[in-house]
Amino acid sequence: MAQTMVREVRKEQSEDSVITLKDIARISGYSIKTVSRAIHDHPDINEQTKKQVMEIVERYSYSPNWAARSLRNQKTHTIGYVVPNITNGFFGEIGMIIDSYFRRLNYSTLICFTSHSLDNELDSLRSLMEKNVEGIIVAPVGSFEQWTDKLPKLRETPLAIIDNRFNDTSLDYILHDNEHGADLLVDHLVGHGHSRIACVTGPVQESSGFERLLGYKHGLARHGISVDESIVRTVEWEDINGGYSATLELMESHNKPSAVFYANSQLLLGGYKAFHALSMRIPQDVAVVSFDQPLVIDALTPRPTALEKVEKEIADTTARILHHKITGNAAKAPQEIRIKSTLAIGESCDCKI
């Protein structure tokens, strides 16, 4: 009888059709209610019934309709992760850790890339809200005012912000301590006898770029060194060629620096490319430090001095805060968490390791 029923279901289905809950009930001989309970692991279903139903579910690759389910219970068990570019190791590593954290809680992660475009960011946020995600983690390009002007209901969505901060104090921020890290790296270069230290950073309209530049300036000031704006360059974060061009300009000037602070790993890679093109040796001709570590750091010669990785701490903290917001267990006041790092000594400043 069951075999006959299976043949009937197969005959009825076209190549484009999808098996339904009703089909699973017909094949198994159980009611739709029993099948649904088995699929959703209801405690009232005995193991033998659940096993029989799940064998059929797997045989026909049945997938529950999450959209319809979410309309019934207002829960999708999905979160959104919106970042400029996943090829940046920083965002990639944080994304994988966040996905792993929520996967253990039976959530799925929907990832959106903005390519540093406000329009793309708004489209991503709109799309995630339409999918009824339960919370969103964002490395922002625009401002909260720009978001809520176009998407006023976003204020009702649990959010956690990484990498950049807004002026808005009603949100939760989990950020690298940019000023402290930049100051630490400049202090290291000064300790090696450098006083003419260049800076290649990202857009200062973003808090991460502004704060890293500020930390660079504070580091110089603590040692009584004046800032020379002629050896400060701002380019796009993800642009290796921007780091390359900025480094060529700095090193081909009449009064070139003896050391360079790069404010992220992409800019550092552009710098290494430029030094190779100029046949300049690190650290003999120029000392180099980087705010964060590229994924290919072990392939770079010499290995650059940078900050220790904080991606795991940022990711774990962000995931925990967002989950608490989703479940109604968040702290009463919004949080701004700054995570400090320490030096990871390499060979790019002539350190003996």
Is the N-terminal amide bond of 283 cis, ω within 30° of 0?
yes
Question: pLDDT, tens digit, for every residue of 272-295?
Answer: 999 999 999 999 999 999 999 988
Name the residue among 249, 240, 258 with its Cα closest to residue 294. Answer: 240
Q: What does the pLDDT read at residue 289?
A: 98
In CATH, what number is assigned to the domain containing residue 18? Answer: 1.10.260.40
Residue 37 structure tokens:
């309970």
Q: What is the DSSP letter of 5?
A: H
In this structure, are 161 and 222 located in the same domain? Answer: no
**Strand bridging mode 108-113 / 159-162:** unpaired
For range 54-71, the mean pLDDT? 71
Q: Is residue 269 part of a domain?
A: yes
Residue 78 structure tokens:
């999905």
Identify the sign of the CA torsion 163, 326, 168, 338. negative
Q: Is residue 349 part of a domain?
A: no
Q: What does the pLDDT read at residue 317?
A: 97
In this structure, are 7 and 37 located in the same domain? Answer: yes
Domain that holds residue 99: 76-176+312-339
Count of domains observed in the chain: 3
Contact partners, residue 191, CB within 8 Å, separation at least 6: none
Between the two ends of the chain, the Cα-to-Cα distance in Å is: 75
Residue 91 structure tokens:
């965002």
Whether the model pTM is above 0.95: no
User: Coil, strand or helix: which one is 105?
Assistant: coil
Question: pLDDT, tens digit, for every residue of 105-114?
Answer: 999 999 999 9
In this structure, are 300 and 323 located in the same domain? Answer: no
Q: Cβ atoms within 10 A of the Cβ of 174, count? A: 26
pLDDT tops 80 at residue 41: no
Question: pLDDT, tens digit, for every residue of 87-141?
Answer: 778 999 999 999 999 999 999 999 999 998 999 999 999 999 999 999 999 999 9
CA distance linking residue 31 with residue 182, whole number of Å:
64
Residue whose pair of structure tokens reads 């790993």 in the numeric block:
265
pLDDT tops 70 at residue 169: yes
Strands lying side by side in the sheet with 197-201: 232-234, 197-201, 259-262, 287-290, 305-307, 343-344
Beta strands in the chain (DSSP E): 78-83, 108-113, 135-138, 159-162, 173-176, 197-201, 232-234, 259-262, 287-290, 305-307, 336-339, 343-344
pLDDT tops 70 at residue 25: yes
In this structure, are 318 and 172 located in the same domain? Answer: yes
In this structure, are 201 and 293 located in the same domain? Answer: yes
Name the residue among 147, 255, 152, 249 with its Cα closest to residue 200. Answer: 249
Q: Is residue 148 part of a domain?
A: yes
